[in-house]
Structure 1
Amino acid sequence: MVQSHFRVVYDGPAVADGEMDVAQLASSLLALGKLIENVDAIATGEPGRVRVKVQSDLTRGSFDVGLAISFADHAWQAVTAWAMTPSGAGTISLLGLLGFNVKDGAKGVIQAVRWLNGRRVAQRTQLRDGNTTLIADDGEALTVPDQVARLIDDPTVRQPLERFTEPLREDGVEEIRFEAERGKAAERITQSEAPAFTAAAGAAPTSTSRFPATYQIKRLYFERGKKWRLSNGSQTIMAAIEDEAFWRAVEVSEVSFSSSDYLVCMVRMDQWLTPAGLKTEFTIEHVDKHIPAPRQTGFDV
């Protein structure tokens, strides 16, 4: 077997002590393994050639996971040959095709999906040099290898990519880095970029509903775009707040919040029916009332 190694680093407040939710990490790593295997199978037409193994390597202040991609010796020769053919021009390795270790402005799956950021590809122009120019629905263009242009539309690529980046849509993980050498990031995906990597990004919801509700604040962020963790007592959701009046009041310190306070608000629930199943997102459209959490008081005995 021939192996190629790289590191995945999950970083942020939730992992400052080298700790991370086991279920969250396991789901993300399983999805990364499936992503790598699927991309290789699509690119080469030979499923089952690649296996991804985890090598435990923890560093205080972040959660580092070493990964080894293993190829059978004859398969490695096939990868090299594929990379040298016109259809593989612009990629010298599987990691480059994924976008984990691109150099000199090259574009892999990660860079193309980030660039799209939920936009629809309105037009494709295949070039003679093995590349394809993608034109988004707003007219912006990006040129990528032909393989990348096909991969970003494939559900077996986009679905595991979404699951792999799921920790960025939860509390406490602010970025995921890819390192060929410890401490030298070849690429990174940040929390603010996470929405671009959802499989349904850019697609219109299959259904939308609005309803009034009261939620208790479980975790809050005073940065626009970040999702608050809210609970109605039976369900916990992650929701961004779109209310401009609310944010203006926060920015001039007219109101102050703390965990366990309550918000009476209008909630929008968007749902998408994707190849991976039903996807649901919540948004607070308007905050009608802020109720401070009841404070315990002492009693004279």
Structure 2
Amino acid sequence: MPSQPRHRGASFFLAPCSAGFLVAFFNQWNIHIRMNTAQFSIYFDGPALREGTMDVRDLAPAMLALGDMLEHANRVVNGPEVTVSVRVKGFPRGCFGVSFETVQGFMSQFVEMLSPGSKVHSALEILNLLGLNPVTIGTGLILLLKKAKGRRPKKATPIEHNRVVLTFQDEDIEVPAEVAELYGDNDVRTALNKALEPLRGEGIDKIFVKDGAQQVELVSAYEAQFFVPQEIDPIPLEIDETPQIRYFSIISLSFKEDNKWKLSDGSQPIHVTITDQKFLDEVNSGSRSFAKGDMLKIKLVTRQSQTKQGLKTEYEATKILEHTRPGRQMYLPLMQ
């Protein structure tokens, strides 16, 4: 490529050019950027597919799930600034197969330029990390899940060279750090599990990719059971759980066993579990009544945990210190 003329100033804009790629003018230089692409093919095989046809109700969800998996995997290893799209290339003959093209948005290359030291994983590298590239199939997420056989690791230990050791009940498995991140991402795991759904029907034995003329098996019908995401217990997060003295108005009461009352601190409502047994006994016996606008002074403990759905925050009132009725003591300051 011939050297590019220098431009004065530090302008930045994008424009189409005749070669079919984009030209970016940034910080006095012309930078030519091509879209980052990688191709892969997935083949389904089994007695039900010998004539090269497949029920669309099986194929369509699997194709959509593959696209979701690649998008989520890109988010995990590259962050939200870099985007990928997955396109169907065509249907080759023989065993029923689908060819895909993974296209990474051109902004990925600007992320590296604008964030020194950052590393954007290419579309091909993402296929490698997932285990969809037949050349590097022994290093990705799919092989890890097959080795794990549905077990959950007891701990994950980072080691040198950007790798992680996952400790299971009876063995250690060493993987790239990015593969460990993909393993721990619920969206990636859920999409991968959906993509394997055709294996759970009758007449489809395996999914494979090709390295030239050689078939490389990805997952068998038997192994599909190992890809179902496990139920994950909430993981407590380390925060300051020292009780705080707070005032809340009562929005609604609860007489169920969990005793979660809906309270408001004046800005937003929260559900609080009442564990002050003396206060609950008074409520249940009828010796304590409530009216609209009642206010409680409580000792509040806040706990947070990470769940499969995301961050969860729980509130517990360990002690009810004061119950104030509306219209009373309005002209006195709140006593601490």
Higher alpha-carbon deviation: 186-195 or 143-152: 186-195
2:199 to 158, 168, 171: 168
SS at match of 2:77: helix
Q: 1:193 to 1:53 in 2, by over 3 A?
A: same
Query: Is the contact made by 2:131 and 2:137 (CA closer than 8 Å) also made in structure 1?
Result: no
Of 70, 85, 98, the residue aligned with 2:130 is: 98
- Which of 1 and 2 has greater Rg? 2
Matched residue, 2:210: 179
Partner residue of 2:161 out of 129, 133, 154: 129
- TM-score for the superposition, normalised by structure 2: 0.53
The residue identity in structure 1 corresponding to 2:158 is Q
Instruction: Pick the aligned partner of 2:105 from 61, 65, 72.
Output: 72
| Other-structure match for 2:313 | none
In structure 2, C-alpha distance between the alignment counterparts of 1:72 and 1:97, rounded to whole Å? 19
How many residues align? The count is 200
Q: Is 1:57 matched up with 2:87?
A: no
2:145 pairs with 1:120:
no
What residue identity is the alignment partner of 1:55?
Answer: K
Structure 1 residue 199 corresponds to structure 2 residue 233: no
What residue in structure 1 maps to residue 140 of structure 2? 108
1:243-270 CA deviation, whole Å, 9 max, x = no partner? xxxxxxxxxxxxxxxxxxxxxxxxxxxx
**Could you tell me how far apart the structure 2 residues matched to 1:194 and 1:80 are?**
41
Q: Which residue of 1 aligns with 2:255?
A: none
Which consecutive residues of structure 1, in runs of 5 or more, have no partner in the other structure?
A: 205-273, 276-301
Task: Write the distance in 2 (CA, Å) between the matches of 1:80 and 1:177.
Answer: 37
Normalising by structure 1, we get a TM-score of 0.59
Paired with 1:36 and 1:187, the residues of 2 have a C-alpha distance of: 19
SS of residue matched to 1:121: coil
AA matched with 2:125:
S
Q: What 5-or-longer segments of structure 2 have no aligned partner?
A: 1-34, 234-307, 310-336
Structure 1 position 120, deviation (Å): 1.3
Partner of 1:5: 39
Identify the residue that residue 221 of structure 1 maps to in structure 2.
none
Q: What's 2:219 paired with? A: 189
Aligned alpha-carbon RMSD (Å)? 3.2
CA contact (8 A) 1:100 1:187 kept: no
The one-character-per-residue Cα deviations of 1:123-168 (angstroms, maximum 9, x if unpaired) are 21110210000111x2211100111112112111110011000111
Q: Is the 8 A contact 1:133 1:144 kept in 2?
A: yes
1:58 alignment partner AA: P
| Kept after mapping to 2: 8 A contact 1:33/1:52 | yes
Does 2:183 correspond to 1:157? no
In structure 2, do the counterparts of structure 1 residues 79 and 67 end up closer, same or farther at CA, with 3 Å as the change threshold?
Answer: farther
Q: Does the 8 Å CA contact 2:61/2:195 hold for their aligned counterparts?
A: yes
Confirm or deny: 8 A CA contact 1:11 1:173 kept in the other structure.
Answer: yes
Instruction: Tell me the CA shift for residue 3 of structure 1.
Output: 2.3
